[in-house]
């Protein structure tokens, strides 16, 4: 049982200029904080979230079962990022669907729900919005900015946009930009949503519908890319869905199943010889994940966030030269990657390491041999957690007078 | 070979304030020592998880990389000193890595077990591969895949156009300058590109 977290909201009236040239005003940011800000305001750690996460990073909500924050395994009292030492801030990004101003909120100029008219936001825009939140919280400099995946891109961007505002940057399972293949996956997901007849050009709210079919498929393809081939084979293999099991149980193969042989229960049955029924466990699992996701995630948010991923490329303004792009960074870095992560592969993290070395910046790099693919950054692994804990221990030591 | 005396003998080859790259840095003890005692900065390179963790724990910057994949990440002359302490003998691409060491560092320091140390010779004379405190492994189960001698390294250095600035043996933490090829368990070379 973790500690109780309480979400808060900060309202901002002043317009935030966006990279696109547009701006957004009268917006609010949902955030949570854990631990206590020390007297000299030096122990704050900002946690940036990835695609489908939020400001609810750690702890649980009062009276809500299974409401642990998405990085609750790493952040909390006595954990790797120890909230007895650090003042940890989680903030929901603009355009998200978990509390901060997003496409389902009302546009102050028109009085209508934003929908597809929500301005395109970038990683840089998010960082600017987060910086304003820190201003309001009275935090001049972070002890560290921390993020995984898209959150790692924000952490990296922080060191370039506000080089003096953090001592350390911890960038996990991230990349200096997306590869063509990565953009391609995002585009398939977007097309699934946009071509859903219930999407209505992004204004589905006024029609009282949700493009769930598109969202489901977007999530299914996303989910495939977050896992590794090995872990999928280990979890599901060629197991057939046991017909006796209810659909909601379909997320895992039966106890004691031998994935290579299809598992004991499905062994008892023949193929269904159907093209549309769920035959294999992996299908059942993906459909379950898709259904769950389409119940809570906003379609416009999915488009916005995947676009922010696509656009992020700090080297672009420097002729593609990442070394020159990172020349302005002053923070000391820890980079972590996972060997089986093919969506944000170790090679991409090493590019960042190299650019930092070229600039003679402080950097450590851990390449964790974990089987879980991109998802590994959210999971418990003794080596991963050990490195994170030790690194934050040394940050804490440096903060001592 | 992390004995403090030996470490001090090697640290003497690293000028104070140097920017150091330590290839195969182990638990980071050497870099830690150089940072504290000689005001150096730098990074260690390690592949073993436990060593990477140990480095982070002692505040040594470490990069988890496989040296068999080369040093492409590091620019020419980007370090004052590149260390290879008890690393060379574990590498398949030992010669390439020696050249890479000389490319990346203004100077290089290599230390490795000297196979021509007299107890080893004696063991061979008796017809058996040596198993000693310095070479504690059986021949069929050793990480030391490159067994060479003090003299062999002189030849390899010449072949790769390296100028030896200083060389000596280490035995029991003491420097061995007289007949090091026979009298020292460890060979130490400090070199630069000729």
- Per-residue confidence (pLDDT) for residue B1, from 0 to 100: 52
Mean pLDDT of chain B: 95
Distance CA(A8)–CA(B155), nearest Å, equals: 70
Q: Is A225 a residue whose pLDDT tops 90?
A: yes
Q: Is B61 within 8 Å of A363 when comparing Cβ atoms?
A: yes
Buried b (16+ CB within 10 A) or exposed e, A290-313: bbebbeebbbbbbbbbbbbbbbbb
Express each pLDDT in A274-288 by its tens digit.
999 999 999 999 999
At CB < 8 Å, which residues of chain A contact B? 334, 350, 353-354, 357-358, 360, 362-369, 383, 386-387, 390-391, 393-394, 397
Distance CA(B179)–CA(B156), nearest Å, equals: 19
Q: Which of A158-172, A189-203, A267-281, B139-153 has the lowest mean pLDDT?
A: A267-281
- Per-residue confidence (pLDDT) for residue A261, from 0 to 100: 43
- Tell me, what's the ipTM? 0.95
Q: Is A263 a residue whose pLDDT tops 90?
A: no
- Per-residue confidence (pLDDT) for residue B5, from 0 to 100: 84
**What number of other Cβ atoms are within 10 A of residue B163's Cβ?**
13
- Nearest-CA distance from A158 to chain B in Å? 21
Q: Is A245 a residue whose pLDDT tops 50?
A: no
Please name the member of B52, B57, B73 whose beta carbon is closest to the beta carbon of A357. B73
Express each pLDDT in B14-47 by its tens digit.
999 999 999 999 999 999 999 999 999 999 999 9
User: Among A49, A55, A56, A374, which one carries the catalytic annotation?
Assistant: A374
Q: Is A350 within 8 Å of B53 when comparing Cβ atoms?
A: no
**Beta carbons within 8 Å of B10's beta carbon, 6+ residues apart:** B30, B83, B85, B109, B111, B188
**What is the share, in percent, of chain A residues with pLDDT greater than 70?**
93
Helices (H) and strands (E) in chain A, counts: 11, 12
Q: Which residues of B touch A364 (CB under 8 A)?
A: 43, 55-56, 61-63
Dihedral angle over CA of A114, A120, A124, A130, nearest 10 = 10
Helices (H) and strands (E) in chain B, counts: 7, 8
Residue of B46, B52, B69, B75 to mutate for A, most A C-beta atoms under 10 A: B52
Distance CA(B55)–CA(B49), nearest Å, equals: 10
Query: Does B52 contact A at CB distance below 8 Å?
Result: yes
Residue bearing the bigger pLDDT, A259 or B94: B94
- Per-residue confidence (pLDDT) for residue A266, from 0 to 100: 53
Please name the member of B56, B63, B75 whose beta carbon is closest to the beta carbon of A391. B56
- Nearest-CA distance from A391 to chain B in Å? 6
| Closest CA in chain B for residue A395 | B59
CB A24 within 8 Å of CB A15:
yes
**Beta carbons within 8 Å of A114's beta carbon, 6+ residues apart:** A102, A103, A104, A105, A106, A107, A300
Distance CA(A288)–CA(A104), nearest Å, equals: 25
Please name the member of B53, B61, B78 whose beta carbon is closest to the beta carbon of A387. B53
Q: Is B19 within 8 Å of A363 when comparing Cβ atoms?
A: no
Indicate if A341 belongs to the active site: yes
| Closest CA in chain A for residue B66 | A367
Q: Is A253 a residue whose pLDDT tops 60?
A: no
Farthest CA pair distance, chain B: 48
- Per-residue confidence (pLDDT) for residue A243, from 0 to 100: 57
CB B60 within 8 Å of CB B44:
yes
Express each pLDDT in A148-178 by its tens digit.
999 999 999 999 999 999 999 999 999 999 9
Indicate if A364 belongs to the active site: no
Residue bearing the bigger pLDDT, A248 or B126: B126
pTM given for the model: 0.94
User: Among A298, A313, A341, A375, which one carries the catalytic annotation?
Assistant: A341
Mean pLDDT of chain A: 93
Q: Is A353 within 8 Å of B57 when comparing Cβ atoms?
A: no
- Per-residue confidence (pLDDT) for residue B56, from 0 to 100: 98
- Per-residue confidence (pLDDT) for residue A241, from 0 to 100: 86
Query: Does B19 contact A at CB distance below 8 Å?
Result: yes
Mean pLDDT to the nearest integer, A287-307: 97
Mean pLDDT to the nearest integer, B53-65: 97
| Three-class HEC string of A115-156 | HHHCCCCCHHHHHHHHHHHHHHHCCCCEEEEEEECHHHHHHH
Q: Which residues of B touch A390 (CB under 8 A)?
A: 53, 56-57
């Amino acid at each position: 049982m973790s500690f109780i977290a309480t979400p808060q909201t900060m309202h901002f009236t002043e317009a935030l200029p966006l990279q696109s040239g547009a701006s957004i005003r009268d917006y609010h940011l949902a955030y949570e904080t854990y631990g206590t800000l020390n007297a000299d305001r030096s122990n704050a750690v900002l946690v940036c979230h990835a695609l489908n996460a939020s400001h609810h990073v750690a702890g649980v909500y009062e009276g809500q079962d299974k409401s642990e924050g998405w990085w609750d395994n790493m952040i909390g009292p006595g954990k790797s990022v120890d909230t007895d030492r650090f003042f940890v801030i989680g903030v929901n990004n603009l355009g998200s669907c978990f509390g901060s101003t997003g496409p389902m909120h009302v546009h102050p100029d028109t009085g209508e729900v934003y929908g597809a008219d929500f301005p395109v936001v970038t990683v840089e825009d998010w960082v600017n919005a987060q910086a304003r939140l820190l201003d309001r919280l009275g935090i001049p400099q972070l002890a560290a900015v921390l993020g995984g995946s898209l959150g790692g891109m924000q952490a990296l961007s922080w060191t370039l946009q506000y080089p003096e505002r953090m001592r350390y940057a911890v960038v996990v399972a991230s990349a200096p930009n997306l590869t063509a293949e990565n953009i391609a996956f995002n585009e398939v997901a977007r097309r699934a949503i946009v071509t859903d007849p219930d999407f209505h050009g992004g204004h589905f709210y006024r029609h009282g519908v949700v493009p769930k079919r598109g969202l489901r498929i977007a999530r299914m393809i996303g989910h495939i890319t977050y896992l590794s081939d090995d872990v999928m084979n280990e979890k599901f293999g060629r197991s057939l869905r046991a017909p006796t099991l209810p659909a909601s149980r379909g997320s895992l193969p039966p106890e004691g199943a031998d994935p290579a042989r299809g598992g004991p229960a499905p062994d008892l049955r023949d193929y269904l010889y159907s093209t549309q029924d769920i035959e294999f466990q992996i299908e059942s699992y993906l459909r379950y994940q898709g259904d769950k996701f389409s119940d809570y995630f906003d379609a416009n948010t999915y488009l916005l966030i995947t676009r922010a991923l696509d656009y992020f490329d700090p080297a672009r303004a420097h002729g593609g030269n990442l070394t020159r792009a990172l020349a302005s960074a002053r923070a000391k870095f820890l980079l972590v990657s996972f060997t089986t992560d093919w969506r944000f592969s170790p090679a991409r993290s090493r590019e960042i390491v190299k650019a930092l070395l070229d600039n003679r910046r402080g950097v450590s790099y851990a390449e964790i041999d974990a089987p879980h693919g991109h998802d590994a950054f959210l999971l418990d692994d003794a080596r991963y957690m050990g490195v994170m804990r030790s690194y934050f221990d040394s940050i804490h030591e440096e903060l001592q007078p | 070979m992390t004995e403090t005396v030996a470490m001090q003998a090697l640290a003497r080859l690293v000028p104070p304030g140097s920017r150091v790259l330590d290839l195969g840095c182990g638990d980071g003890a050497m870099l830690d020592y150089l940072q504290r005692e000689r005001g150096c900065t730098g990074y260690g390179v390690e592949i073993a998880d436990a060593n990477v963790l140990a480095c982070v724990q002692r505040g040594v910057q470490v990069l988890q990389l496989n040296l068999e994949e080369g040093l492409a990440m590091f620019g020419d002359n980007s370090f004052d000193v590149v260390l290879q302490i008890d690393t060379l003998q574990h590498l398949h691409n030992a010669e390439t890595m020696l050249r890479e060491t000389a490319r990346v560092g203004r100077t290089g320091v290599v230390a490795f077990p000297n196979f021509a140390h007299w107890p080893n010779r004696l063991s061979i004379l008796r017809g058996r591969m040596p198993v000693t405190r310095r070479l504690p492994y059986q021949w069929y189960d050793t990480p030391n895949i490159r067994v060479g001698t003090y003299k062999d390294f002189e030849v390899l250095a010449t072949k790769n156009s390296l100028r030896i600035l200083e060389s000596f043996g280490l035995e029991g933490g003491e420097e061995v300058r007289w007949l090091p090829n026979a009298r020292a368990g460890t060979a130490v070379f400090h070199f630069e590109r000729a």
